[in-house]
């Protein structure tokens, strides 16, 4: 037991030294993450240790990790790693529409899975992303609200379709939910980019 405790203390001391090494590298100003990790690697620190030290310092607000060049335009922001949530949602919506005609085999189970996600989660998730672009809510709250809002939006979409020539049928419902989700996602992307520009001081 004492030996295990000593190992933990040694690990904590090494991590602290890693943080000090990061701060030492950044004392002169800015540096790329890759350059800092490479320099720490020459001192014997692994990539995971170096990145963990950087993230710890960022969490404690001792360093700031940001893009070398801010994404000033909406299209640049949309193609950045910050917008992976947007593309993942679009892929899920597209998969739901593609699998809508599946009737047998593995594709049928995928149809059930993606169809359930389209009906029970994605519309509410898109609305939550549009309403709270600054991540004010924790993940569990976002998940619960996404399901609740989806259960509210889907009947409204069905009510709207009931007064159109298309009626409440499988394909019109799927297309309307997909369209609603995409519109809300585009609104969320626009709002997130606006907040991003404010945070980065981009005019």
pLDDT of 17-31, one tens digit each? 666 666 666 666 666
Q: In the chain, what percentage of residues exceed pLDDT 70? A: 75
Q: Could you tell me if residue 7 is inside a domain?
A: no
pTM as predicted: 0.71
Query: Are 105 and 18 part of one and the same domain?
Result: no
Q: Are 31 and 50 in contact (CB under 8 A)?
A: no
- Name the nearest CA neighbour of 95 among 119, 78, 116, 111: 111
Domain count for the chain:
2
The domain of 184 spans 74-200
Q: Could you tell me if residue 137 is inside a domain?
A: yes
Query: Are 78 and 169 part of one and the same domain?
Result: yes
Query: Are 151 and 81 part of one and the same domain?
Result: yes
Highest mean pLDDT range out of 32-41, 61-70, 153-162? 153-162
pLDDT higher for 5 or 147? 147
List all residues 6 or more positions away from 193 whose beta carbon is below 8 Å from its beta carbon.
Answer: 71, 74, 77, 78
Query: Are 43 and 111 part of one and the same domain?
Result: no
Of 5, 34, 59, which closes a domain?
A: 59
Neighbours of 31 (CB within 10 A): 14
């Amino acid at each position: 037991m004492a030996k295990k405790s000593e190992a933990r203390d040694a690990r904590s001391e090494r991590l602290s030294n890693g943080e000090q090494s990061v701060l030492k590298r950044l004392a002169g100003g800015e540096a790329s993450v890759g350059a800092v990790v490479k320099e720490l690697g020459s001192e014997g620190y692994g990539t995971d240790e170096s990145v963990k030290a950087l993230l710890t310092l960022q969490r404690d607000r001792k360093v700031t990790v940001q893009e070398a060049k801010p994404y000033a335009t909406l299209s640049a922001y949309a193609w950045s790693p910050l917008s992976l949530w947007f593309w993942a949602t679009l892929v899920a919506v597209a998969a739901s529409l593609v699998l809508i005609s599946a009737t047998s085999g593995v594709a049928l189970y995928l149809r059930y899975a993606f169809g359930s996600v389209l009906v029970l989660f994605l519309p509410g998730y898109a609305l939550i992303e549009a309403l709270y672009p600054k991540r004010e809510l924790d993940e569990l709250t976002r998940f619960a609200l996404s399901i609740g809002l989806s259960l509210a939006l889907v009947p409204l979409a069905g009510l709207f379709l009931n007064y159109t020539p298309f009626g409440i049928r499988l394909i019109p419902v799927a297309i309307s939910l997909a369209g609603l989700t995409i519109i809300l996602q585009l609104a969320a992307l626009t709002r997130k980019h606006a907040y991003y520009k404010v945070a980065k001081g981009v005019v």
